[in-house]
Amino acid sequence: MLKLSIIGTGNVAFHLARAFSAAQGVNLQFVAGRDLEKLKTFEEFSATLNLNKELEKTFYSDVILIAVSDASIAAVSQQLMESKALIVHTSGSTAIQILDQNKRCGVLYPLQSFSKEKELVYKEIPFLIEAKLQDDLGVLKLLTESLSANYFTVNSKDRAALHLAAVFSNNFTNHILTEAKQLCNDHNVSFELLKPLMLETVQKAFSIGPENSQTGPAKRKDTPTINKQLSALKSAEQKQLYTLLTQAIQNYYER
Amino acid sequence: MLKLSIIGTGNVAFHLARAFSAAQGVNLQFVAGRDLEKLKTFEEFSATLNLNKELEKTFYSDVILIAVSDASIAAVSQQLMESKALIVHTSGSTAIQILDQNKRCGVLYPLQSFSKEKELVYKEIPFLIEAKLQDDLGVLKLLTESLSANYFTVNSKDRAALHLAAVFSNNFTNHILTEAKQLCNDHNVSFELLKPLMLETVQKAFSIGPENSQTGPAKRKDTPTINKQLSALKSAEQKQLYTLLTQAIQNYYER
């Protein structure tokens, strides 16, 4: 039985605590955090600890997962120097070297977007793992397997690239959908009707490649439709997004 | 049995011809087109006609679907003035009035992106329908039902709004995925790993709303990460997209 502690009370900590508390072969011993109010929501998963007073109780876990903001990883890892546990952060864009002063260290980065409201299907989430020592890679594999998730051994440089591509795709697509929903609301039509189109957009991008799926007025240089659509947009921001993305598509297919 | 003809040889014509040729209660009589080479690929679905020479053979169908480019709808509909059939176009952004000179007219717009390579699941596609005469709305409902598709009665103004929102979401998301794939290729990491994230992005946008799903450095105004990511982007276009979309997200959540 792998003894695990988690440090942090954000969305990633919450989802991993919930998942590992139910996982076979893992004993979630402690969740430690500074925000005592948020920490209460973790009581159903394990014992909880005030990070400022009782952190040393986590030292005897086999693995300590640091699921805090990128900016706080270094400070938290300093406080764990005396532990013999495998110290692991969960950040996509932070190199493993930030944990170099800890004897045993690694990274376990779930390539997924976490919101408190929505349950996750772990078997569909790729976990990118990395460890200083080869043996510890085996421990990280055990952790991901306990969630029935897929793991991929990826170094810090490649993980940062995937994280950037993920931010690019997830954050920006989500904002485009936000503006599309606004457009629907402005015209009193149902945003929901776009769901099959968007699911197909993503399926197609990954089956035949997004560069083979581009359609629409920008790709076919249909200037009358572009002008008609531009003038139908009300907000300056939507016009600016429309113009830049239309231009970007045209430039791309001219290359 | 509803007798149907389709005019056009593009992707929409191809998919609708394939689907209606297999549909219960519909007899696809003819597909007519100018491009005789492309027309050959329709021979497995129905008899084919040279648009310039034999169009009048379609006149005795119950419904004639005009699935040609927006710019050609008017010219084609002129050639159908003598037919008593219900004349229907399939364009999202074209008003029904373009068919006003045809006694019976309507619109059947499938809100989906069509590529020749990929089969479609019709029961998940919303068809937006509109007709000049109430009785003809019933005919369009029959057509969509023969494909097990869902129909929504939507006027031309609202359909144009939905079409614009669809272009916005599909075309721009697809281009963002194109740039994300480029990023992955540049760093020799697998674009495929982003698929679960993107499916979750879309699912979440439609379950809890995109305005409640926004995460990432732009939303949380994490300037160090924004600068790190900007400098990791190589192409001027990616930097420009990153900057504008980051700005757009920040402006949106400041409103």
DSSP string of A96-113?
Answer: GGGGTTSSSEEEEEE-S-
Q: Is the CB of residue A215 less than 8 Å from the CB of residue B69?
A: no
The minimal CB distance from B197 to the residues A111, A160, A218 is found for A111
pLDDT value of residue A86: 98
A175 chain-B contacts, CB cut-off 8 A: 210, 214, 218, 245, 248-249, 252
- Region A134-155: mean pLDDT is 97
Residues A64-76, mean pLDDT to the nearest whole number: 96
Contact B43, B18 (CB under 8 A): no
Answer yes or no: do B210 and A161 touch at CB < 8 A. Answer: no
Domain boundary among B154, B174, B200: B154
Q: Quote ipTM for the complex.
A: 0.90
Confidence band, pLDDT 50/70/90 cuts, at residue A28: very high
Lowest mean pLDDT among A135-139, A166-170, B196-200: A166-170
Query: Mean of the per-residue pLDDT values for chain B?
Result: 94
Residue B255 has pLDDT above 80, yes or no: no
Whether residue B140 sits in one domain with residue B37: yes
Q: Which of B117, B194, B211 sits opposite A208 (nearest CB)?
A: B117
B8-47 pLDDT, tens digit per residue, is 999 999 999 999 999 999 999 999 999 999 999 999 999 9
The yes-or-no verdict on residue B116 having pLDDT over 80 is no
Determine phi and psi for B189, rounding to 5 degrees: -115, 160
- What CATH number does residue B208 fall under? 1.10.1040.20
Q: What is the mean pLDDT of residues A225-234?
A: 90
Q: Please compute the mean of the pLDDT values over residues A219-236 and round it to a whole number.
A: 90
Supply the CATH number for residue A107's domain: 3.40.50.720
Instruction: Flag if A174 and B210 touch (Cβ within 8 Å).
Output: yes
> Is residue A215 pLDDT above 90, yes or no?
no
Do residues A49 and A32 make contact, with C-beta atoms less than 8 angstroms apart?
yes
Tell if the CB–CB gap between A93 and B229 is shorter than 8 Å. Answer: yes
Domain interval for residue B207: 160-254
Q: Is A180 in the same domain as A233?
A: yes
Instruction: Name the percent of chain A lying above pLDDT 70.
Output: 100
Counted domains in chain A: 2
Q: Which residue of A has its CA nearest to B245?
A: A172
Sorted by sequence, the CB contacts under 8 Å of residue A173 that are 6+ apart come out as B173, B176, B177, B198, B201, B202
Q: Is A200 found in the same domain as A131?
A: no
| 3-class DSSP assignment, residue A52 | helix
Between strands B105-110 and B126-131, the pairing is: antiparallel
* A48 SS3 class: strand
Question: Is there a single domain that holds both residue B45 and residue B164?
Answer: no
The amino acid at A52: N
Percent over 70 (pLDDT), chain B: 100
CA B24 to CA B142: how far, in whole Å? 10
Task: Mark which of B119, B154, B189 sits at the end of a domain.
Answer: B154
Q: A115, B244: Cβ pair inside 8 Å? A: no
Looking at the fold, whether B11 and B86 belong to one and the same domain comes out as yes
Mean predicted confidence (pLDDT) in A117-136: 92
- C-alpha A143/C-alpha A88 separation (Å) is 11
Task: Write down the pLDDT at residue A118.
Answer: 75
Last residue of one domain, picked from the residues B154, B170, B190: B154
Kindly identify which residue of chain B lies nearest to residue A123, measuring between CA atoms.
Answer: B196
Regarding whether A238 and A115 lie in a shared domain, the answer is: no
Residue B131: strand, helix, or coil: strand
Q: Give yes or no: residues A115 and A207 share one domain.
A: no
- B116: exposed, middle or buried (C-beta count within 10 Å: 0-12, 13-18, 19+)? exposed
Q: What pLDDT score does A167 carry?
A: 87
Band of pLDDT at residue A58, cut at 50, 70 and 90: very high
| Phi, psi (rounded to 5 degrees) for B182 | -60, -45
Nearest to A112 among B191, B197, B207 (CB): B197
**Whether residue A173 is found in the same domain as residue A113:** no
Locate all alpha helices (DSSP H) within chain B, ordered by sequence.
11-21, 36-39, 51-54, 73-78, 134-146, 156-186, 195-207, 223-232, 236-254
